[in-house]
Amino acid sequence: MNESATKFCFYCKKEVIDEKHYHTHKMWFVTDRTIIPASIRFKEQEVPIARCQTCYEKHHKAYMVVIWCSLLVGFFLFFRFKVGTWPTETFEVVFAYFLCGLGALGCVGILVGIWEYLFFKMINKIPREADLSKHPLVKAFEDQGWLSSKPNPKTALLGKPKEKFD
């Protein structure tokens, strides 16, 4: 393989990868299993997934943190101060409208977050961060018996290479 070859982002396949913005995908391989008591032993490893800065920013949007914080602060303040009674003094009225605004912002944020989760691929034109079923390294490990989700002691089978049916 040519070491000087330019490597492109797995997600958008257009931009050059940025060394600072790798996504690490954990994978597990079951090495031993006991039935009574139900337990397993497994190996764990992290697979580096190359991506560009643009895709990193699409996967980690900061506005959702602001929205969730405003919702939590709004609910905390709402329940902390006079729940169920509308204030009559000027400061309390302004404060009540502030709380209503925080709650509304949080609710709108949740709706936007759900919308973006459901339509992430269509909006951003890239797969989700954890959508790695087509990544060549992940596929190679899965063919060898590695799992992309942490194994459950009650349902896990010993890791074996997948059989190829022709």
Q: Is residue 151 part of a domain?
A: no
pLDDT in tens, 112-166: 777 777 777 777 788 888 788 888 899 999 888 888 888 887 776 666 666 655 4
Q: Is residue 6 part of a domain?
A: no
Q: Is residue 34 part of a domain?
A: yes
| Cα atoms found within 13 Å of the Cα of residue 31, Cβ hemisphere only | 5
Q: Is residue 158 part of a domain?
A: no
Residue 2: the pLDDT is 41
**Cβ neighbours for 85, distance < 8 A, ≥ 6 positions apart:** none
Whose tokens are 């190996």? That residue is 43
For 72, the domain range is 19-143
Q: Is residue 2 part of a domain?
A: no
Residue 164: the pLDDT is 55
Q: Is 161 exposed, middle or buried (0-12, 13-18, 19+ CB in 10 A)?
A: exposed
Q: Is residue 164 part of a domain?
A: no
Confidence of residue 1 (pLDDT cuts 50, 70, 90): very low
| pTM metric for this prediction | 0.59
pLDDT in tens, 74-89: 667 666 666 556 666 7
- Per the prediction, the chain carries an average pLDDT of 77
What's the number of domains the chain is made of?
Answer: 1
Q: Is residue 150 part of a domain?
A: no
Residues in the chain: 166
Q: Is residue 163 part of a domain?
A: no
